[in-house]
Amino acid sequence: MKTLSLLDLDKIDQIATPEQFQDINMHSPAINIFTDFNQHKPLMVDASTLAVDAIKLMMKEHVHMKIVVTDEDEFLGVITSNEVSEQNIMAKIAQGFTREELLVSDVMITRASLNAFNFEELEKAKVSDVIEALKHYKVRHCLVLDQSHHHIRGVISSSDIARKLKLPITIDVATSFSKIFNSIND
């Protein structure tokens, strides 16, 4: 048996992270900047979770998007920090909900309202292509669909890309005022 020795750590103050070993730039393959659900468990929330609890959970986990599922993990949609913003919560309260009864399913973006990047196209794209597409479609997050397997393969987040590139990425998200106006007048 090989004997392993122990080393002192008193002069070590850094923890290795995958980002330190990935040299990502605008010309890197786009596949390097998406969260692949084949390698990472998706961040999910049950549709029956109270919206106020989802807000707390997202803040605690430092995430801006979660996938909404049923108790059986059936994909229903997504919830982002925008859907659980105070502005959108107040719009739902104006519709007659109370803050204490508002569920994730009441504020989520349904899967019928979502779009996704094609995984096969993403495999051929560069990081700059993804950033331009996010800006063009005015979204900060986008799901990735693997059509050949008929499942959501992953997600792309502009904040993750910015962190990996160590550059700010500004995306003018489509205004939600029309959504709020329409929801109040329904």
- Asked whether residue 10 is assigned to any structural domain, the reply reads no
> Which residues, including other chains, have CB under 8 Å from residue 106's CB and lie 6 or more apart?
51, 92, 97
What pLDDT, on the 0 to 100 scale, is given for residue 12?
A: 76
Q: Is the pLDDT of residue 137 over 80?
A: yes
How many angstroms separate the Cα of 156 from the Cα of each of 26, 127, 144? 15, 11, 7
Which one is predicted more confidently, 128 or 170?
128
Band the pLDDT of 19: cuts 50, 70, 90.
Answer: low
Residue 1 domain-assigned?
no
pLDDT tens digits, residue range 41-74? 999 999 999 999 999 999 999 999 999 999 999 9
Secondary structure of 142-169 in HEC code, one letter for each residue: EEEEECCCCEEEEEEEHHHHHHHHCCCC
- Going by pLDDT thresholds of 50, 70 and 90, the confidence category of residue 13 is confident
**Residue 47: what pLDDT?**
98
Residue 115 has pLDDT above 50, yes or no: yes
Share of the chain above pLDDT 90, in %: 71
Any domain includes 18: no
Q: Does residue 12 lie within any of the structural domains? A: no
Within a domain: residue 6? Answer: no
Confidence of residue 76 (pLDDT cuts 50, 70, 90): very high
Q: What is the DSSP string of 39-107?
A: TS---EEETTSBHHHHHHHHHHHT-SEEEEE-TT--EEEEEETTTTSHHHHHHHHHTT--TTT-BHHHH
- CA-nearest of 148, 139, 140 to 119 is 148
pLDDT digits (tens, 9 = 90+) for 146-173: 999 999 999 999 999 999 898 889 888 7
Say if 66 falls within a structural domain. Answer: yes
- The pTM (predicted TM-score) of the whole model is 0.79
Q: Do 89 and 99 form a contact (C-beta atoms < 8 A)?
A: yes
Please return the burial class of 134, using the count of CB atoms within 10 Å of its CB with bins 0-12, 13-18 and 19+.
buried
What's phi and psi for 52, nearest 5 deg?
-65, -35
Q: What CATH number does the domain containing 102 carry?
A: 3.10.580.10
Which residues span the domain enclosing 164?
Answer: 26-184
Consecutive H or E run containing 129: helix 127-137
pLDDT for the residue numbered 18: 64
- Angle formed by the axes of helices 86-94 and 177-184, nearest 10°: 20
Minimum mean pLDDT range among 85-94, 128-137, 174-183:
174-183
Domain tally for the chain?
Answer: 1
